[in-house]
Amino acid sequence: MDRSNPAVQRGRSMIAFNQVSKRYPGGFDVLKNVSFELAKGEMAFLTGHSGAGKSTLLKLIAAIERPNTGSVLVNNQNVSVLKSGALPYLRRNLGIIFQDHKLLFDRNVFDNVQLPLQICGFDHKESSKRVRAALDKVGLLGRERANPIALSGGEQQRLCIARAIVNRPSILLADEPTGSLDAEYAEEIMAIFKSFHQVGVTLLISTHDASVLRNTQFRVIELKQGEIQSSSAPADSAQTTSTSPAALSTGAQA
């Protein structure tokens, strides 16, 4: 357990890896004995070379992949052994921005963001309200009828953020969210993430982006060939944020 993190000492861990190893079928150990904790309300970066295991680690949190050994706890629930029927409950609390976007190009911007709410069975009025709030948050309200293909790279990335936050999750995972963007767009995206952090959302963001990592106030966890190479001292970020349930419920929305 990461005793240097005051929020963790208070027992408010949101994500906890305990001796996690992951091997894809026929392959090698992509993650080896990975242990770390992220406190509730903490924002941290995950970095490392291409193939180091960043995307795999994020997929384990969302139970898209399962570990071979060890446990992954999300909000004190061991997601490594979750039955498939319980996955929707986990994912409802989790926003994910995938490295390969996963946007649907046969639907417009509004419908892309509405999809997670449709799956959860929201009625049309409530879901429309939430979709517009999410699009407003990322500055895309005026583009709701556009096809994602007509958006710039930065706008597509912001669309992915809107889709990830429309459920108002308390955890946001972002896989290389600024990968293909120039510095100005990357800063905009980081400002959006910081605004979620300020209202108590827990964020883990994988990035190669040196400009993002330079002088950051947030913890940087570095993976090298599947092992944690270093983890900078975490800011006690949970203490600087509001973590009331009310803040969480609006945090990813407005």
Q: Which is nearer to ligand ATP, 48 or 251 (CB)?
A: 48
Q: How far apart are CA 52 and CA 69, in angstroms?
A: 18
Q: Do 226 and 68 touch, CB atoms closer than 8 A?
A: no
Q: Are 188 and 29 in contact (CB under 8 A)?
A: no
Find which of ligand ATP, Mg ion, none residue 44 binds, CB within 5 to 8 Å per kind.
none
Residue 55 or 243: the one with the smaller Cβ distance to ligand ATP is 55
With CB under 5 to 8 Å by kind, the binding choice for 51 among Mg ion, ligand ATP, none is ligand ATP
Residue selected from 1, 4, 19, 24 as contacting ligand ATP according to rule CB under 6 A: 24
Please, are residues 22 and 29 in contact by the beta-carbon 8 Å criterion? yes
Secondary structure (DSSP) of 35-62:
EEEEETT-EEEEEESTTSSHHHHHHHHT
27 contacts ligand ATP (rule: CB under 6 A): yes
Interface residues toward Mg ion, by CB under 5 A: 54-55, 99
Give the shortest CB-164-to-Mg ion separation in angstroms.
Answer: 16
Question: Which tokens in the block code for residue 50?
Answer: 């291409």
Instruction: Pick the closer one to Mg ion by CB: 59 or 137.
Output: 59
Using the rule CB under 6 A, is 207 a contact of ligand ATP? Answer: no
Residue 115 tokens, joined? 């999809």
The residue within the footprint of ligand ATP, chosen from 12, 32, 40, 54 (CB under 6 A), is 54
Q: Please give the span between the terminal C-alpha atoms of the chain, in angstroms, as a whole number.
A: 34
User: What residues make contact with ligand ATP under the rule CB under 6 A?
Assistant: 24, 27, 30, 48, 50-56, 99
